[in-house]
A and B are shown apart, each in its own frame.
Chain A
Amino acid sequence: MAMLEVKDIYKSYGKVPILKGVSFTMEKEETKVIIGPSGTGKSTLLRCINQLSPPDKGQVWLDGEEITNPKTNINKMREKIGFVFQDFNLFNHLTALRNVSIGLEKVKKIEKDAAQKRALQELTRVGLEAQVGQYPAQLSGGQKQRVGIARALAMDPDVILFDEPTSALDPELIGDVLDVMKSLCGKVAMLVVTHEMGFARNVADEIIFMEGGIIVEQGSPKEMFTNAKMARTKEFLGRIGALYGEDETGG
């Protein structure tokens, strides 16, 4: 049984259909990257998975439990699904340390000292042990996003959803964040929406190409980059490749 199963998800905003039947599965510790043009519903899909925007139709299953079932305790399920936001969304009134520990304290009800000890471990893991006492406004974009990743990691999630984690960053700061994400490969399942083709190519176990609210094609990076079946996939990857340079590795 797959760890995460997304079944036939539909979602509209008003009369505009965004997702038109998306299905895929993820295994434990797998890294899956979703690519595709802007406005294709990639971010909406992530928000449908953890029910920040509940889908209109379709099901999401995690570890054999249906998240989309109204009877499921959604807060319990969200503990198992980390979310890393494009614009970080760190808690502005808390230090880096408290940003990471607050979920442990308030949701997992872990004692404050133990929670902060764990938070310090996670911040060290993302290379920010020197910034524990700083507030979000005092951190660079790359540091903020690494705190965001530490915040997700601290909850011991089964899967972390990354919603364009590097899109709001200066180019020179992207590498640090991608390095941290790479270091998590094989330790926790990651579902990453990104335009970083280098990351997709080198790190992903599988790439999903989405356009127009559906999955056009999915496969291993090798298949997708060298031997895509669909003309549209080839065209998209070709154009992105031309834009960023074929040899770009994304760190």
Chain B
Amino acid sequence: MAADFAQFFLNSLPDLFNGLGYTLLLTFISITAGFFLGISLALGRVYGNKIVNGFCVGYIELIRGTPLLVQLFIIYFGLPSIGIIFTPIQAALLGLSLNSAAYQAEYLRGAIQSVESGQMSAARSLGMNKLQSIGHVILPQALRISIPAWSNEFIYLLQYSSIAYIIQVAELTAEGKFIAAHTFRYLEVFAMIAVIYLVLTIVSTEIIDRIAKRLSIPGIGAAKQVSLREG
């Protein structure tokens, strides 16, 4: 039985690795693209004029107010009817990035607003312009503060990327479904897949924690958590 499972596991590995590759690709590209878009949205919400702020709020509410699955369907199945055609992986990357951006924007906005207003006053009073103040003073603090929430978003994205299988992306869950459908060994296959997601999650949480520790500064955000845990 054990030998049989081991054999099955080994046979499944190449396909699962293929799927894993797509899962990691979706996660890393979407979190990165979502980060840069999210930071722009967050800055627009906090520092933008009425029009910019309104646009950012509208975008964030639209994305957070509709299911990711519906967003992917619109991009993959809906847009072709007006002549915009994406491959499955393009559609998934676009959908996940746009979706993650809205959530990351809200985490970052919270972090930016939690930086005391006196920090901006001090930066401006030295003669820094607004952009310099944001770049040299506000963001270095806000980004550190946002690491725990951001770590959450990373884990969500890692797991939500499995939804991409519905629009034909051969990521980890899709490969599992394929193997299971051919072998009828649903329990073993999805147990393996669950374990892979679990390991990925534990490893990435640990990596992000280490990064947070390395970046930590006495008195700022993530550092407080670290010291609480150690104390």
Contact = CB atoms under 8 A, between A and B. Distances in A.
Given A75-B129, A78-B127, A92 B217 contact: yes
B155 to A, nearest CB: 26
Contact of A85 (B121, B128, B140, B141): B121
A107 B128 contact: yes
Interface stretch (A10-18, A24-32, A59-67, A134-142): A134-142
Contacts of A81: 125
Contacts of B219: 92, 135-138
Given A92-B141, A92-B217, A106-B132, A75 B127 contact: yes
Is the contact region of chain A dominated by helix, strand, or loop, or is it mixed? mixed
A92 B119 contact: yes
B124 A52 contact: yes
B159 to A, nearest CB: 32
Contacts of A77: 127
Interface string B181-218: 00000000000000000000000000000000000011
Nearest to B140: A93
A93 B220 contact: yes
Interface residues of A, number: 27
B126 A107 contact: yes
A5 interface: no
Contacts of A106: 128, 132, 136
B121 A151 contact: no
A88 B123 CA distance: 12
Contacts of A52: 121, 124-125
B220 to A, nearest CB: 6
Is the contact region of chain B dominated by helix, strand, or loop, or is it mixed? helix
A183 interface: no
Contacts of A83: 121-122, 125
B83 interface: no
Given A52-B124, A106-B136, A91 B119 contact: yes
Contacts of B122: 83, 85, 89-91
Nearest to A102: B136
A90 B125 CA distance: 12
B231 interface: no
Interface in B115-174: 116, 118-119, 121-129, 132, 136-137, 140-141, 144
Contacts of A78: 124-127
A89 B126 contact: no
10 contacts: A52-B124, A78-B126, A85-B122, A92-B119, A93-B137, A93-B144, A102-B126, A103-B128, A137-B219, A151-B126
Interface of A: 50, 52, 75-79, 81-83, 85, 87, 89-93, 102-103, 106-107, 135-138, 151, 155
